[in-house]
Amino acid sequence: MNKETEIELTFLAAELPKEIKASAPLCIVDTYIPEKHDFSPLRIRKRGNVHELTRKMPIKKDDYSAHEEITIPLEEDVYIDMLRLSKKSVTKDRYVVKIDDYYAHVDVFKERLQGLVLIEFEFKSKEEIDGFEVPNSCLVDVTQDRTILGGQIAGKRYEDIEPWLKSKGYKKL
């Protein structure tokens, strides 16, 4: 079991960052449980050959920039059994890159959400965020918007969230 605090900012991408060209993606499949919950606090993830269960909860209510994450490794057969609990999933290619001296996860969504690209920056502390300058590859900060949380977009199609994306000035990538 692994417990950590994650401090992050999430942006809709203005463009595909050039930095991903030098990085190999890792395919991630996230399935959120329970299926009918407004905010799915549990995620089962397949990341390459790694399978895990994660509980991700905001540290402060309605502040999605800092989470407590508890992750438990799963055997493949347990992971497969747990997939029966929900059809609410997303598939994405994740690129781990450095953009303007900041480590970032660039998530290029596939299948039903193809065209959506999110860029997430992780920080060691809230204070570190104060000096952060938003790179040109980022369109708008959506960290505090529940609409784009993994458990919210899981199971949806790009068309389902397209009106919201357009309201943010996002163009399908």
pLDDT (average), residues 61-73: 90
Summarize pLDDT for 76-108 with one digit per residue, the tens. Answer: 999 999 999 998 999 999 999 999 989 999 999
Percent of the chain with pLDDT over 70: 97
Class of domain 2-167: mainly beta
Summarize pLDDT for 10-36 with one digit per residue, the tens. Answer: 999 999 999 999 999 999 999 999 766
Place of tokens 């438990």: 72
pLDDT at residue 126 in the model: 85
pLDDT at residue 57 in the model: 86
pLDDT at residue 167 in the model: 98
Q: Which residues of 116-155 are buried (b: 16+ CB within 10 A; e: fewer)?
A: bbbbbbebeeeeebeeeebbebbbeebbeeeebbbbbbbb
pLDDT at residue 35 in the model: 67
Query: Distance (Å, rounded) from C-alpha 12 to C-alpha 8?
Result: 14
User: What's this model's pTM, rounded to 2 decimal places?
Assistant: 0.93
Kindly tell me if the per-residue pLDDT of 135 is higher than 70: yes
pLDDT band at 131 (very low <50, low <70, confident <90, very high): confident
Q: Report residue 105 as tokens.
A: 């996860």
The domains of the chain are located at: 2-167
